Amino acid sequence: MDGLRWLLLLFGVLVVAGVYFYSRRERERGDDLHVTGPRIAPRLADDNLETGPDLPDASADSSGTGGDAGQQVSTQKIVTLRLVARDRGAFQGDELILSLRGIGMRHGKFGIFHRVDGADEEQTIFSAASLVEPGSFDLTNIKDQQIPGISLFLVLPGPIDGAEAFDMMMEAARALAQTMNAELLDESGSTLSIQRERYMREEIIQFQHSNLVA
């Protein structure tokens, strides 16, 4: 009887030891699985497609600063005027194009007109776009087009002093308004008053000053 008890005790010890060592081995295997390498996030099949050229750059936010710490991009300011045909009419396409060319503007990038600094087409002082979407001018059938108005705009900082660029755009806008019998408006569509013009010019000077200080 004593021999049977010893056999059962020995068997119990072996079973407990076996369970212990088995549990320990499984736990070590689990630890190895967690430390073999960094966790790789699952990817969709289309994740490796290139981003199209018209998509915005996700590395920059709306304030004009990049996503990388310590990297700062200059802010920009867009100044806009509108010229519209009186009495809700429309400009004859070919006449408008001749007037734009008459004040030194060239048809170019994005299908719109630009006033450039010198001969370099990349040095744009201000531009003119149609108020008809998408804003470009299709010169192939321009004689058949009726255009209700255009937008004149400049982007700061530009190739020349901002106040000087604004003065040039205002001069061009007045010349077009006279030639085309058009109404000159501000960016909100209100008649451009002398006071509003002066305020816009002062805003440009303040913008340039703040950029220099920054």
Q: Is 104 left (phi over 0), alpha (psi -120 to 50) or beta?
A: left
What integer pLDDT is reported at residue 151 of this predicted model? Answer: 97
What are the sequence ranges of the domains in the chain?
Answer: 1-35, 77-213
Q: Could you identify the residue written with the tokens 């867009």? A: 78
Q: What token pair was written down for 118?
A: 């010198």
- What single letter denotes the amino acid at residue 26? E
| Residue 162 confidence (pLDDT) above 60 | yes
The arithmetic mean of pLDDT across residues 4-21, rounded, is 41
128/50: higher pLDDT: 128
What integer pLDDT is reported at residue 148 of this predicted model? Answer: 96
> Is the CATH number of domain 77-213 3.30.360.10?
no
Confidence of residue 64 (pLDDT cuts 50, 70, 90): very low
- What single letter denotes the amino acid at residue 207? F
pTM: 0.65
- Tell me how far apart the alpha carbons of residues 130 and 110 are, in angstroms, rounded to a whole number: 11
| Residue 34 confidence (pLDDT) above 60 | no
CA 165 to each of CA 116, 145, 148, 159: distance values in angstroms, whole numbers, following the listed order: 10, 30, 25, 9
- Tell me how far apart the alpha carbons of residues 192 and 184 are, in angstroms, rounded to a whole number: 6
Q: Which residues contact 205 (CB under 8 A, 6 or more apart)?
A: 162, 163
Q: With CA atoms as reference, report the closest residue to 167 among 204, 141, 212, 139.
A: 204
- Phi and psi (nearest 5°) for 75? -75, 160
Least trusted range by pLDDT, from 7-11, 105-109, 159-163, 176-180: 7-11
The arithmetic mean of pLDDT across residues 85-96, rounded, is 94
The arithmetic mean of pLDDT across residues 39-61, rounded, is 33
Q: What token pair was written down for 196?
A: 């509003």
Least trusted range by pLDDT, from 51-55, 73-77, 109-113, 139-143: 51-55
DSSP for 197-214 reads: HHHHHHHHHHHHHHHHH-
What integer pLDDT is reported at residue 118 of this predicted model? Answer: 85
